Structure formats: structure tokens, C-alpha cells
Structure 1
Amino acid sequence: MDKNKLIIFGVIGGIIIVVVLFIVGFLLGDKGESPYNVQATLKFWGINEPYAYQGVFEQFKEVYPNVSITYRGFDSILDYEQTLLDALAAGTGPDIFMVRNNDLARKANKIFPVPGSKYSLLRLRNDFPQVVEQNFAPQGGIYALPTSIDTLVLLYNRTALNEAAVVFPPETWEEVQEVVPKLIIYDDMGAVTRAAIALGGSRNVNRAKDILSLLMLQGGAELVNDEYTAATFASQEGVEALTFYTQFANPNSK
């Protein structure tokens, strides 16, 4: 295989989307084309255990019986990143590798986009949510496809809800605002000894950026322009979402 024509996976985490079979087909051609019968071995590097892809590899083997996939997993992300960069620089990198969606720009000069004849931008838009195009095809060239997509959920403490006589966990932001005051615990001096929810800041809030982005989108803010070349969230809707988010860390907010 031509190591200069690498196809990469994007890791966004969450609901698994099986794309290994789909992407590897780009390297070999469609079933009706002559590359379908090619004999080859593809190198695939990632940060997951091999069993995570075993079923996909077996499906792939049914379509391309003459092609083998050798998977190399890394325990350390730092080790993976360094080994991958060294291999790409030396021209000995894998045919397929994984990269985080926010790290694609750093590796973009070492890979080529998928040919439009193999997979078009229109098809990408039909197959995946808009965020995939934003992350992996910002200029129209498709450099990666996701193995998974993040899903944000609200985790709640049933014991805390029971103690506050809250029967059902909140399902909307309005209900969150109603429940939060009932869950806060103060000491005799009026200081908070137990907060109600981990929101409002960024240092100690996991996925703070994603949560704020979600609030902006739900509030009608446009995060980027149509060309994905400039940020546009500094709008009234964006400000309102930021104000709503930060109120949860404001001790004077009710």
C-alpha cells in the first residue's frame, strides 16, 4: 500500500459507529473493481484493545478474503503519539491510524483527504451529524471519519434527590434550575458544604467546553460560519448561554 495515502480514524468517544470495514474499502477499491481481489496486509494502529475491533475485522475478511489487517494497540497515549509521529516522519507509518478530533490539524500535513470519487462530501453529510464535517472536513476535503461520537448525559445522585424530596430527576434546564436550590447544603455559617451540580466553571468541570457549546446550540447560537472558517458564537444567544452556565458557580445566583 502507498503509505503516503493514509486514511485516519477520528476518536470522538460515545456511541460506537462501525466504520473500519467502510474506510478500509477506500484503500482497496469497491467490490466490483479489480483491487477487490488484491492481496495485501494493512497496518492499523490505535489505542484500544484488539478485541474492540475483532468483530469488524471478521466482517471485513468476508468482503476482502485476500487482505489481512494487523492491529497494534498502545497502552499509553503519549507513547502512541510519539511512535506514530516518528513513523509518519520516516515514511513507515500505518495505513490506518486513530487521532482525536481536536488533534487533526497537527497531522493534516502528513495525510491526504479521501478522493471525492470514493466518498463525497454530500455522502458524508447524509451519513453523519454536522459535527463530523466540522471536525474532519473543514475545507471540503475529508481527512477522517469517526469511530464514535460523544453523547452528553446528566448523572444524578438518587440518595441526594431522595433527601431533598425530589421524586424525579430533572429532564430540562428549567427543571435543573428548580432542583438545584433544594440540593445545596449549608453549614451554620451559611457556607456551602455540598454543591448541587458540577457546572459553572471549567477547572473542575469535566467536559465544560462541550456543555457550554451544547447550551449555545440549544439557545440558537451559531458556533461557526457556513464555511467553518470563523467563530460566530459571540452573539446575543452565545452570551445568554454563557451567562446561564456561569450562574451555577455564582454564590449570589438564586
Structure 2
Amino acid sequence: MTGSHAGGTTGRRTGSGRRSLGWRIGTPVVAVLSGSLLAVSATNSEGTDLRPGRYTDLAGLVEGEAANYRTVEDRFNDLSDEVERLSAGVKDKSVDRARGEVAQLRDPAGMTPHAGPGLQITLSDAPEDLVDDAVERNKHVEPEKRLNLNRFVVHQQDIQAVVNALWNGGASAVTIAGQRVISTTGIKCEGNAVQLQGVPYPQPYVIEAVGDPSALYGSVSSDPIVSGYRTDSENPQIGIGWSLDLKERVEAPAYDGVVDLQYAKPLR
């Protein structure tokens, strides 16, 4: 019994010693590895958040995305200038003919500025107090009588409807938030903002068009989708933002962004 007890005691001491030795060695190793991982993360992130989804400041996000786009745009413009400079030194009839075709297409493609009479339309989300009232009201009425909260927010289809109505009214140039709209311009919702050419812009959304003010106004007024939006703007329970002003002069700058052309080839 004594030997057995002594052996048992010796075994426990040996195990305890091994565990203590393991902790003494393992703890510094873990600390060193953790520090290394933090250093690697700091280096890779270059001082930024590795998980951009954590950004909650919309204004900061919009500003950051716009700055990134401007950097790419500046690089594109520098390369385009270099291509034009190198191309100018090429003496070839086919190249000269292509240059002439490009020059003729610059204006209809939106690459030259336009100015003249027109109109300005501003779209904006409904005031927060009306949204809060609608949310509270919906809690106490039958489902079929509840207001659709999507009607309180400006969507990409609302902006597209206004722009299409302006084109149908004979607009020679259209801008959104001061940015020239061309055939490749993409408009889409992104969270609480609308993206234009990949850059997010917060509301209100100012849309301007150069053209005959009477024709533009008539086209906007008769468009069924725009009319539905205007009906909501006149509804005191919704009050989504809408304003239309005739302008003696509207200035539309030339499009100077990146032209990303995509096309499909027919199957053979």
C-alpha cells in the first residue's frame, strides 16, 4: 500500500511538472505568434480596416469611394493623354480617317460640354418624421391599409424614369449630381445611396437637362412613372421630395470619366 501510494504521488508530481513546463514554454510562443499576426495585419491593411463592412458612416464611405474613383480616373486620363500624344505622331491615312470619325462622335457621345436653357429636377427622400409616423401607423391598421415604406425613398428607377423622360423630351445633355450622363452610365441603389458610374451619391439627387424647357416639362409631366412619383410627393402622408424649376441656363460639363464599353457577340 505504501509503495503504491508513493508511486501514485510521484506520478502526479511528474505530470504537474510536465504541465508547468509546457505552460512556461507555450505561453511565450503564443504571445510571439499573436504579435506577429498583429504586425502582419497592420502591414496588409496599411492602416485601414480589414473588414470594410464595419463602416457605418455613410458620408465617410461616400467620400472614400469617390476619392478612390478619382484616383482611377486621373490615372485613366493620364494614360489617355499619352495615347493621344503618341498617336499624333503616326502618319497614316487610315489613322487620320479614324481620328476624324472620333471627332464627329465626341459631341453626341457626351464628350463635349453643353449649355443652354433647360430645367432642374430635385428628388429626395421623405422627411424622417413622416417615415416614423408611417411605421407607427402601420402597427395599428390592417395589412391591406398599411403604407408601403418603399414609397418614402428615392430609388434608382425613379431617377431613371426622370432621365428617360428628359431624353424623350429632346434633351441634348443630362447631368445627375453634376455628372454628365452618357450611354454607358449606370445607375443603381447601394444601401442608403445611389451609385452613379460606380460612385455613391447621397440624396438629394439633382437632375439637370439642356433643351427646350417647354418640351422637357411636357415630357416629364406626361410620363406615367414620373406621375406616380409626383402623386406620392403630393400625398401629405408620404411627402417624398420633388421640385422642378425652369432654368434660363443649364451647364452640362463634358464627360471625363472612364468609358467602359461592354458588348455581346452573336452566336454563330
* Shared fold per TM-score greater than 0.5: no
Q: TM-score, normalised by structure 2?
A: 0.20
Give 1 or 2 for the bigger CA radius of gyration.
Answer: 2
Richer in helix (by share): 2
Structure with the larger RCO, 1 or 2 (CA within 8 Å, 6+ apart): 2
- Give TM-score scaled by structure 1 length: 0.21
